[in-house]
Amino acid sequence: MPLSNSKKQELFDYYSENGFQNSTEQIVKKMNICHKTFFNRYGTKANSVEIAWLYWQQLCRKKWLEVVIHCNHSIEALTMTLFNISEFRNEEPHYYEYTRANRKYLEKDSFFYTAIHAILERGKQSFHIQENLDFESYITFLLNNLFLIDAELDQRPAILNYVLAPALTERGLELFLETPFAWH
C-alpha cells in the first residue's frame, strides 16, 4: 500500500527538524510511534530518509513551478532556479546538506537536474543557450559549483556570471545582463 502524503509529511517534518543523524530509537521516540509501525511503514531508516528526501523534492518542484511560470524567458527562469536552489540552504538546511553531502543533486531524476535540463532545452529552442552545449557535462559543472562553493549572498552574482557564461549565446548573455541577478 502506498504511503499517504500525511505520513510522508510527518516523516519530512521529523527530518526537517532533527536532521538525519539520529538512530531509529530516537526517531520512533520523537515521532511517538513504535518500532513495528516505523518498520512496517518505512522499511528501514535508510528508506525513510529516501522517502523524506523524495517528498522534499516534490515540495521543491512545486515551489519552483510557482516561480518559473512567471518568468519572461529561459535565462530568467534559469537564474531564478539557481537562486531558489541556493535559498533551500536556508529554508531546509538538513535536506540541503544531505543533498550536497551525498551529491544527490546530480541524480538525473532529481528535481535539481531535471529542472535545469528542462530550462536548458527551452533556452536552446529560443536560441538563448548554445546549440552544441553538452547538457550532462554542463549541468554537472553548474550544480557542482552551486552546491560545493556554497557562497554567501553577496558573492552569488559573481558565481552566476561564472557558471552561466559557458552556456549562453550572445542573446542569452544580453538577457542575463538585463536580469537583476547579473553582476555588472
In a domain, 183, yes or no: no
- In this structure, the answer to whether residues 123 and 40 fall within a common structural domain is no
H-assigned helices in 43-134: 45-68, 74-91, 93-101, 111-125
The CA distances from residue 35 to 2, 51, 81, 125, in Å, are 19, 17, 39, 52
**Angle between helix 35-42 and helix 45-68 axes, rounded to 10 deg:** 60
Mean pLDDT of all residues in 15-19: 95
- In this structure, the answer to whether residues 83 and 15 fall within a common structural domain is no
> Residue 136, Cα to own-chain centre: how many angstroms?
16
CB–CB of 105/113 below 8 Å? yes
**Among residues 35, 63, 50, which one has the least CA distance to residue 3?**
50
- In this structure, the answer to whether residues 27 and 92 fall within a common structural domain is no
**Among residues 84, 76, 53, which one has the least CA distance to residue 180?**
76
- Domain hosting 115: range is 71-178
Q: Please give the radius of gyration of the chain, using alpha carbons only, rounded to the nearest integer.
A: 19
pLDDT (0 to 100) of residue 90:
85
Mean pLDDT of all residues in 170-181: 86
In a domain, 34, yes or no: yes
CB–CB of 59/9 below 8 Å? no
CB–CB of 27/47 below 8 Å? no
- In this structure, the answer to whether residues 162 and 75 fall within a common structural domain is yes
pLDDT (0 to 100) of residue 43:
93
Q: How confident is the model at residue 184 (pLDDT cuts 50, 70, 90)?
A: very low
pLDDT (0 to 100) of residue 88:
83
Could you identify the residue written with the cell 513495528? 36
Residues near 143 by Cβ (< 8 Å), separated by ≥ 6? 105, 106, 112, 113, 116
In a domain, 14, yes or no: yes
In a domain, 63, yes or no: no
Asked if the model's pLDDT at residue 86 lies above 80, the reply is: no
In a domain, 61, yes or no: no
- In this structure, the answer to whether residues 48 and 75 fall within a common structural domain is no
- In this structure, the answer to whether residues 172 and 85 fall within a common structural domain is yes
Mean pLDDT of all residues in 40-44: 93
- How many domains does the chain contain in total? 2
Mean pLDDT of all residues in 32-37: 93
- In this structure, the answer to whether residues 96 and 169 fall within a common structural domain is yes
Task: Give 96-152 pLDDT, tens digit per residue.
Answer: 999 999 999 999 999 999 999 999 999 999 999 999 999 999 999 999 988 877 655
- In this structure, the answer to whether residues 82 and 150 fall within a common structural domain is yes
In a domain, 104, yes or no: yes
- In this structure, the answer to whether residues 96 and 159 fall within a common structural domain is yes
In a domain, 60, yes or no: no
**Among residues 65, 62, 60, 57, which one has the least CA distance to residue 87?**
60
Question: What are the beta bridge partners of residue 176?
Answer: none
More confident residue, 77 or 87: 77
